[in-house]
Amino acid sequence: MKNKIDSLLEKREEALRGAGEERIKQQHEKGKLTARERLEILLDPDTFEETDMFVSQRSTDFGLEKVVIPGDGVVTGFGKIGGRDVAVFSQDFTVLGGSLSETNAEKICKIMETALRIGIPVIGLNDSGGARIQEGVVSLGGYADIFLRNTLASGVIPQISVVLGPCAGGAVYSPAITDFVFMVRDTSYMFVTGPNVVRTVTHEVVTSEELGGADTHATKSGVAHFVYDNEVETLLNVRRLMEYIPSNFMDPVPKRNYRKKGKELREKLNSLIPEGSDKPYDMKEVIAELIDDDFFEVHATFAPNIIIGFAHLGGQSIGIVANQPSVLAGVLDINASIKGARFVRFCDAFGIRLLVLEDVPGFLPGTEQEWNGIIRNGAKLLYAFCEATVPKITVITRKAYGGAYDVMNSKHIRGDYNYAWPSAEIAVMGPKGAVEIIFKKEIASAEDPVAEFHKKVDDYTAKFANPYIAAARGYIDEVIIPAETRKKLIFAFGLLKNKVDRIPKKKHGNIPL
């Protein structure tokens, strides 16, 4: 038996070496960690249990029979984050560039299927040159096998993609299906076709960073939800994300210990809203006053006119969707609508309560928005809120104009609790625009058109630009003093803890994609 055990230990050592010290050195020179070093940072100490360590590629074409390395370029297994079980795969760029082979894909699919059966998250660490060219359609089929499992697992277990190197061609579609994508500046790249192909086909000269780098996807395309400066920071923030999300759609959302401190009043909120309704302020200051501790923002640099992210309120994990008056006055546009809709649907899928902070002047006008589908894309956010059955609370801090009032979790689309501050303005449009339409002829024929215009604006403001007509009709449950907001939210979310809401029986809806 001793000889057999020694043989096993030898084989393990061989698998742990990957493609050897020289390749590992090259990986480090690029500022990148190895597949196993990444798992050591991501997972709780001494919790990783590897599977399929000795699986190797089967192809013998184009000299591949000479490159048989245990593990075949991906490390798979199970571990813990914060004491909770997770399934992980970590692509090993030192082995044939981390390229996806038939057996490589089988290993990934195997842990995904297990994760789906037992209800735990899947975290993929991507660092791959793409499909293994020598295997042809077999490797392409492996990608499709992964895509199918990504899709079947969607909404059942959280799926997180961490892009720590190249991710090109068909490889990009697996992260795209998953719930959250993390990237690292200067070392992460995602694109369907690389710079050389782009140059050949469209004659555009572009670098890998410009085409598909971390900041490009975090600001322009919206593919990346989180971007950090190095791998260690990135992996630690994956651990942080896990503090807010459950292991599957049936498990309770993680809680933190919470001790009530006094009356929970936040006096600063009484002075955050400027007197003039056209003056900006930072909604993140409002968020900071409402939550227990730090706000974990998602998509921080993409469509910054809307804010989304996770926080704890009274010890409970919540998702926050908030208009940002300091960027484009908080207007809803195509990107903001898509950003908000996907986040709302994630929170609803996994039972995470939603808090909506509303200060929105409407949807962004203009030919660019209309021709690119603001109607279809704005409807995505509307659809997401209508469909969501988790507890949903809205606080209108200032503007709630037009269709955007309806969309931002109004009472009409099953908002559970709808509060308004005294500064709230709930109307079809702003007073100036409304007066220009309603009293156009009257103002034009007045002796002093300017004075008449201002008088009409004041009259309209007094009548409509306040929360009381909506409150009188029950569209607003309560007009509250801003300082009381945190206390009210803790009460309302506590009241809604056993909420049951349903949608009509169906196979699935047809969201306006």
Radius of gyration from C-alpha coordinates of the chain? 26
Single out the catalytic residue among 119, 141, 403, 433: 403
Within this chain, do residues 484 and 371 fall inside the same structural domain, yes or no? yes
Catalytic residue among 73, 79, 129, 169, which?
169
Per-residue pLDDT for 98 more than 90? no
Q: Per the domain annotation, does 447 fall within a domain? A: yes
For residue 49, being part of any structural domain is answered with yes
Q: What pLDDT score was predicted for residue 313?
A: 96
Q: Using 50, 70 and 90 to split pLDDT, how confident is the model at 425?
A: very high
Q: Are residues 275 and 127 in the same domain?
A: no
**pLDDT, mean over the chain:** 91
The answer as to whether 190 is a domain residue is yes
Question: Are 143 and 205 found together in one domain?
Answer: yes
Both 373 and 443 in one domain: the answer is: no
Q: Is 404 known to be catalytic?
A: yes
Same domain membership, residue 45 and residue 10: yes
Assess if residue 510 is contained within a domain. no
Model confidence at 71: pLDDT above 80:
no
The mean pLDDT of 47-53, rounded to a whole number, is 93
Instruction: Give 23's pLDDT tier (boundaries 50, 70, 90).
Output: confident
User: What's the 3-state SS for 72-121?
Assistant: CCEEEEEEEECCEEEEEEEECCCCHHHCECHHHHHHHHHHHHHHHHHCCC
pLDDT of residue 364: 94
Would residue 362 show up in a list of annotated catalytic residues for this protein?
no
The pLDDT value given to residue 342: 98
pLDDT tens figures, 126-179: 998 777 766 668 878 889 999 999 999 999 999 999 999 988 888 899 999 999
**339 in a structural domain:** yes
| Whole-structure pTM value | 0.94
For 205-221, the pLDDT digits (tens) are 999 999 999 999 999 99
Q: Which residues contact 491 (CB under 8 A, 6 or more apart)?
A: none
- Asked, for residue 277, whether it belongs to a domain, the answer is yes
CB 426 within 8 A of CB 405: yes
Binned at pLDDT 50, 70 and 90, residue 278 comes out as: confident
Domain end (from 241, 256, 282): 241
CB distance 365 to 296 below 8 Å: no
212 is a domain residue: yes
pLDDT range class, residue 338, cuts 50, 70, 90 = very high
Residue 12 is predicted with a pLDDT of: 82
Same domain membership, residue 199 and residue 318: no
Give the tens place of pLDDT for each residue, 476-513. Answer: 999 999 999 999 999 999 999 999 898 899 999 999 99
> How much is the pLDDT for 140?
85
Residue 181, pLDDT score: 98
Q: Whole-angstrom Cα distance, residue 512 to residue 377?
A: 7
- Residues 192, 288 within the same domain: no
Question: What whole-number distance in Å separates Cα of residue 130 and Cα of residue 104?
Answer: 12
The whole domain housing 293 covers 267-427+466-495
Q: Is 403 a catalytic residue?
A: yes
Choice among 119, 141, 155, 170 that is catalytic: 170
Residue 248, in any domain of the structure: no
Which residues are bridge partners to 189 per DSSP?
A: 166, 213
* Active-site entry in 404, 420, 427, 465: 404
Give me the pLDDT at residue 66, please.
67
Same-domain status, 381 and 416: yes
Q: How many residues does the chain have?
A: 513
456 lies in the same domain as 416: no
Whether residue 14 sits in one domain with residue 132: yes
How far apart are the C-alpha atoms of 105 and 389, rounded to whole Å? 36
> Of 88, 85, 95, which Cα lies nearest the Cα of 50?
88
232 and 314 share one domain:
no
Identify the CATH number of the domain in which residue 406 sits.
3.90.226.10
Question: DSSP assignment of 291-335, as one string?
Answer: SSS--EEESTTSSTTEEEEEEEETTEEEEEEEE-TTTGGG-B-HH
| Backbone torsions φ then ψ of 152, nearest 5 degrees | -65, -30
The count of structural domains within the chain is 3
Q: Say yes or no: 442 and 362 in one domain.
A: no
Has 349 been annotated as catalytic?
no
Average pLDDT over residues 276-296: 94
Helix 374-387 to helix 334-349 angle (10° resolution) is: 20
Give the containing element (helix H, strand E) for 139.
helix 137-153
Residue 457 pLDDT class (50, 70, 90 cuts): confident
| Ordered DSSP codes for 19-74 | T-HHHHHHHHHTT---HHHHHHHHSPTT--EEE-TT------GGGGGG---TTTTE
The residue behind tokens 């995904």 is 112
DSSP string, 259-278: ---TT---GGGGGSS-SSTT
